[in-house]
Amino acid sequence: MAYASSGTFERDTDYIPDRITRDGRKPEHGPVDGDLWPVEPGRYRLVAAKACPWATRSLIVRQLLGLEDVISVGLCGPTHDERSWTFDLDPGGVDPVLGIERLQQAYLARFPDYPKGITVPAIVDVPSGQVVTNDFPWITHDLFFEWREHHRADAPDLWPSHLRDEMDDVMERVYTEVNNGVYRCGFAGSQEAYDAAYDRLWTALDWLEDRLSRSRYLMGDTLTEADVRLWTTLARFDAVYHGHFKCNRQKLTEMPNLWGYARDLYALPAFSDNTDFEQIKTHYYVVHKDINPTQIVPKGPDLTTWQEPHGRG
């Protein structure tokens, strides 16, 4: 993480820019600043962690699109040290496909002097054991656009063409003000920075509460990538962000439309299967020692309420 002179949290977004595209072609959308790799079923392994909101996006989209037999998944445990995420959920602490203990090994296999943080999600080329990309927004984008020939027949249209322009605007606001907004609160380096971050976050959450009073999903009656991107923050809100990150004006459960919407999404297997509240709590409260030096993980909140009827049909 980094801070501006004002104490404002600034996320490092300098990721490996490679893309996986159909036949290794130049993609129709987005940057092409790195290498292009060909779509090839069975070749790549998505390394993720259910504790991480950015990685959970890719797990949800992979399952929504039916790519489970096309792109394998390696799951890291909920905590990591300064070096790397680790495969401590696997027998012997070794990923059974890649044969490595730390995700760092895949990064260093390609970039021996890799200077930046080892992040999830990351897509790894199985034959070489080398990382391909960790650019999380483009990973899910390309799972939809570039792997379409391998989607299940009834896969949802996560990027409807007629909604694309508005959806881009919505996702940009969700990312800057909500997904990243909670982190600006939690890692603020001054009271002034925290106050400003808090106000920005709740302005956006009020906007979403109002928007969802008029439609089932963010873009109407259609589930889209925008919903996946918002979901990962909502799933962590009461368990982590409300207290740990001091985003405490209200709980998610106290915002009727956002709470009903979140339970509506949780009722879908792709969302609930890839959400582990205990791993989420363990990650934030143990890893963020600067915020929680005791590393005590809270027992609450009551998670059974996620199973209650959402009433948004």
Does residue 3 have an active-site annotation? no
> Which entry of 15, 44, 52, 76 is annotated as an active-site residue?
52
Does residue 52 have an active-site annotation? yes
Q: What is the 3-state secondary structure (H, E, C) of the chain?
A: CEECCCCCEECCCCCCCCEEEHHHCCCCCCCCCCCEEECCCCCEEEEECCCCHHHHHHHHHHHHCCCCCCCEEEECCCCECCCCEECCCCHHHCCCCCCCCECHHHHHHHCCCCCCCCCCCEEEECCCCEEEECCHHHHHHHHHHCCHHHCCCCCCCCCCHHHHHHHHHHHHHHHHHHHCHHHHHHCCCCHHHHHHHHHHHHHHHHHHHHHCCCCCECCECCCCHHHHHHHHHHHHHHHHHCCCCCCCCCCHHHCHHHHHHHHHHHCCHHHHCCCCHHHHHHHHHHHCCCCCCCCCCCCCCCCHHHHCCCCCC
259 is in an annotated binding site: no
Residue with tokens 């989209």: 61
> Which entry of 15, 44, 107, 183 is annotated as an active-site residue?
183
Q: Give the active site residues.
A: 52, 183
Q: Mark the binding-site residues, compressed into ranges.
A: 85
Q: Mark the binding-site residues for glutathione, compressed into ranges.
A: 85
